[in-house]
Amino acid sequence: MTDISLKILDMECAACVSRLDRILSRLPGISDVRINFTASNAAITYDERQTDLASISAQIKKAGFRVPIEEQDLLLQEAGPVPEEIVSGLRNVPGVKDVSVGQDGILTVFLWPVGTDARALVQACADMDLVVTPGEARGGDEDQAIEKQMGLLKTLVESAALTSLLMLELHPKVQFVIGTALQFGPGKHFYKGALRDLRNRSFGMDTLLSLSSSLIYLYSSHTALTRKQNFTLYFGSDGVLLSLILFGKYMEQVAAGEANSAIRKLLHLQPKTAMVLSDGAYVETPVENIRQKDLVLVRTGERIPADGTVVEGNGAVDESMITGESLPVDKQPGDRVIGGSLCRSGSLTVEAEGLGKDSLLQQIVATVQRAQCEKAPVEKYADRVAGWFVPAVIGTAASTFLLWYKVLSPGDLEKALLACCDVLSVACPCALGLATPTALMVSSSTAAENGILFSSGRFLENAYLADTVLFDKTGTLTKGAPEVTDVVPSDGGLEDELVRLCASAEVLSDHPIAKAIAEYAAARFPDFLPEPAERFETFPGLGIRCEIAGQQILCGNRALLRENGVLIAPQSDLSPASGTEIWVAAEGRILGRIDVADTLKPETREAVHRLKQAGKEVWLVTGDNESTARSIASEAGIEHVAWSVLPTEKAELIRRLKAEGKTICMIGDGINDTPALADADCSIAMGSGSDIAIESAGILLPSGDLKKLPDVFALSAETMKTVHQNLRWALFYNGISIPVAAAGLLHPSICAASMSLSSIGVLLHSLRLQKFGRKKERDPS
């Protein structure tokens, strides 16, 4: 199975989406299709043995849409013939459509618009021992958006010019000539759309408009050519109708571009070149040519070109585009940095690790784009309404005609025709179609800008419904950086041996507790070298087991020891635990205990308080022991506590609470909470810096900042409010305007204007959601 996100052009309206969706879903080999109208792309899952991009794109073309081909030049090191194997090798790179060899040492690669980056091509050439550097790229996102906008603008200007000529009340025959030019010049735009609708038997705005404007045109032409006196021509009205709708479409495109700007901004963070160490000197290199483990120099004011680790130097780095946090973070050797973040002061030498598609930035963009493709349940409902809307309007228009012609003013063709055309042009299926996707789109990009990532529109839709919030402890409520507070050997044992043995085992684990113990050992014994351990095993929520020097070592909580048949006698000589107790046993004999304690994040109390204020029931669910759980809970202000809960039991608890009728939001660090996160109605994973498990939850807070939690719920509520207002507005508008038009009370140009305004209104109303982030900035409380 292959997953792609394919660019598709010429989707004009929500009805196009449902049509394309139907056509693609029917194709053999395609198992899943999700179309994002606003971003003009489709996420497609297909079986590469049954179909390929070429045949998928042929079907899309047949349905009347375009799949834009992109071009990427590759510059050869030295001009000369390119071996046939290399050309055919390049053709086999996923996403490549064709390759052409130019005279001047340039290879031009034609790409399907699935986001294949130049890096993959350069790499593929390198694998075949051909050194190339990426050259110019053509036909990318921006080019297409601009091309489309310019095309529409040109049509609009033509239409407006012809319309103003018509306003001059020229001789009827001259009006007829200009009207015809208008109808089949700029008006072609709508006929093309209507034809496409007809071919696919699903009708949108273009159908309504071509019907209405053709009727007006035919009637006026007939009058102009046959009648001698006492007549009115409507060529001018027709022109105004077409021009206004074109103007509306143009504005819609501008606004849709705005809605998608957050994603573009993110992609622009990636610098084009970087200073890469090669043969002892730093050389300016295109980022596509950076390889794993390359050393890259980043100076003040530059953006970091790839995810990686600082190996030298130090500086303050602004990671706000990922975490939404505007304070720069100090970086020293050993710290991880994120590609795209800005070095505000100092200079850093970074060892490159996450490149291209593997970089955090690209993954975030992919996540947001995928989320925007996925249809939220409310969207499916709106699409269904839009599907039967157009036939219903045509029916109403026909009845209006008959009513006027037969009953209200019998025999008055002009009056009946005008009323019928008014109904056709005032009805606005687009307002309905745009109501949901634009709101979801704007709010998911706004969220991304504020360090909140929704992995699907579904979570935007239901996050605010959660009435019960469950927190994991380590790394979620607490900093996730525990420290050793006490080392307690059992009688006769040596403290040093206890620490060395436990740390040797824990270096293999990535649990925060393990890191604390390993760091403690390293600080205590400057010469500390872990003893080699074998058969290492992790027991989530319990601890670890391994073999060191032939002895079986256990490190973990009481439950771990109990499960392995080691009994902890009530040992009088052991002082009471000062935090989380990590018991250490060798060959069934208890060596002692290491206590670790983690501190609350500074914002925990306030975040919990605000959640409770918002009426949510807050729980702490942890694998830790009762006393730690209780003390952390009371410190954080949480009343409901569940302790000694294994990760799988967390999922059970969630199911039980759900059975009580609660809607659960689980918040964890995504490390060993995956089952619980998956079972909750909505799940939030906290990250810290660059350790983000993108796939693990519905909503991600890469900054790990709990203060953003109330925002998550607020944004979700705000978004759904906007969606419902949009839908209500669209229904209200159509419900009022259609009857008024049918009554013959509106002038055709008023109809066109109000139809355009209603869909622009929906867009602008959705764009208001962008203010969400800005309001927060001004007013931090």
Residue 690 touching Mg ion (CB under 5 A): no
Q: Which does 557 bind (CB under 5 to 8 A by kind): ligand ADP, Mg ion, none?
A: ligand ADP
Tell me which of ligand ADP, Mg ion, none is bound by residue 622, counting a contact when its beta carbon lies within the kind-specific cut-off of 5 to 8 angstroms: ligand ADP
Q: Using the rule CB under 6 A, which residue among 8, 132, 542, 618 binds ligand ADP?
A: 542
Does the footprint of Mg ion cover residue 359 (CB under 5 A)? no
Window of 278-286, 336-344, 482-490, 509-517 that interacts with ligand ADP by CB under 6 A: 509-517
For 589, residues 6+ apart whose C-beta sits below 8 A from its C-beta are: none
**What is the nearest approach in angstroms of ligand ADP to the Cβ of residue 580?**
5
Give the shortest CB-542-to-ligand ADP separation in angstroms: 5
Is 472 annotated in the active site? Answer: yes
Residues within window 567-596 making contact with ligand ADP, judged by CB under 6 A: 580, 582
Instruction: Name the DSSP letter for residue 781.
Output: -
Least separation, in Å, of the C-beta of 555 and ligand ADP? 5
Number of residues counted as binding Mg ion (CB under 5 A): 2
683 binds, among ligand ADP, Mg ion, none (CB under 5 to 8 A by kind): none
Determine the interface stretch with ligand ADP among 47-55, 276-284, 407-415, 511-519 (rule: CB under 6 A). Answer: 511-519
Other beta carbons less than 10 A from residue 3's beta carbon:
11
Please select the residue that binds ligand ADP; options are 305, 451, 556, 702, rule is CB under 6 A.
Answer: 556
Closest C-alpha among 298, 300, 294 to residue 277: 294
3-class secondary structure per residue, 523-573: HHCCCCCCCCEEEEEEECCCEEEEEECCEEEEEECHHHHHHCCCCCCCCCC
**Cα–Cα nearest to 249, from 279, 204, 294:** 204
Choice between 197 and 472, CB closer to Mg ion: 472
Q: Which does 513 bind (CB under 5 to 8 A by kind): Mg ion, ligand ADP, none?
A: ligand ADP
List Cβ neighbours of 201 (8 Å cut-off, separation of 6 or more).
none
Residues 6 or more apart whose Cβ sits within 8 Å of residue 226? none
CA end-to-end distance (rounded Å), the chain: 47
Owner of token pair 């091309």: 147
229-288 binders of ligand ADP (CB under 6 A): none
Pull the structure tokens for residue 86: 């290399």
Task: Tell the smallest beta-carbon distance from residue 700 to ligand ADP (Å).
Answer: 17
Residue 582 interaction partner, one of Mg ion, ligand ADP, none, beta carbon < 5-8 Å per kind: ligand ADP
What does the alpha-carbon distance between residue 32 and residue 37 come to, in Å, rounded to a whole number?
16
- Binder among 63, 130, 418, 544 for ligand ADP (CB under 6 A): 544
Residue 509 interface partner, choices ligand ADP, Mg ion, none, CB cut-off 5-8 Å depending on type:
ligand ADP
Side chain identity, residue 651:
A
Beta-carbon contacts of residue 333 (< 8 Å; ≥ 6 apart) = 310, 311, 312, 313, 314
Q: Does 580 bind Mg ion (CB under 5 A)?
A: no
The tokens 């292959």 sit on which residue?
2
- Tell me if 474 contacts Mg ion by CB under 5 A: yes
Pick from 514, 551, 549: nearest CA to 532: 549
Query: Least Å distance between CB 530 and ligand ADP?
Result: 14
State the nearest-atom distance from the C-beta of 246 to ligand ADP, in Å: 58
426 by DSSP, 3-state: which? Answer: helix
**Is the Cβ of residue 116 or residue 628 nearer to ligand ADP in the bound state?**
628
Instruction: Give me the catalytic one of 117, 294, 307, 472.
Output: 472
Both structure tokens of 773: 């982030």
Q: Which residue is nearest to ligand ADP (CB)?
A: 623
Q: Name the minimum Å distance from CB 594 to ligand ADP.
A: 9
Give the chain's radius of gyration (CA, Å): 32
Q: Which of 425, 509, 703, 759 binds ligand ADP (CB under 6 A)?
A: 509
In this chain, which of 113, 354, 541, 702 binds ligand ADP, going by CB under 6 A? Answer: 541
The single residue among 183, 443, 622, 683 that binds ligand ADP, judged by CB under 6 A, is 622
C-alpha distances in Å from residue 701, one per residue of 322, 450, 551, 696: 9, 9, 42, 12
Q: Between 457 and 556, name the residue whose CB sits nearer to ligand ADP.
A: 556
Q: Based on the shown chain and the rule CB under 5 A, indicate whether residue 557 belongs to the binding site for Mg ion.
A: no
Report H helices in 591-645. 604-613, 626-636
Instruction: Please choose, out of 226-234, 465-473, 607-615, 753-761, the segment that lies near Mg ion by the rule CB under 5 A.
Output: 465-473
User: Alpha carbon of 514 to those of 453, 500, 524, 552, 576: distances in Å?
Assistant: 29, 13, 15, 18, 21
Q: Which does 40 bind (CB under 5 to 8 A by kind): ligand ADP, Mg ion, none?
A: none
Residue with Cβ nearer ligand ADP (468 or 474):
474
DSSP states of 446-459 = HHHHTT-EES-HHH
CB atoms within 10 A of CB 467: 15
Q: Which two tokens stand for residue 509?
A: 């684990």
Shortest CB 473 distance to Mg ion, Å: 7
- How many residues does the structure list for the chain? 781
Q: Which residues bind Mg ion (CB under 5 A)?
A: 472, 474
Point out which residues bind ligand ADP (CB under 6 A).
Answer: 472-474, 506, 509, 511, 513-514, 541-544, 555-557, 580, 582, 622-624, 647, 672
Active-site amino acid positions: 472
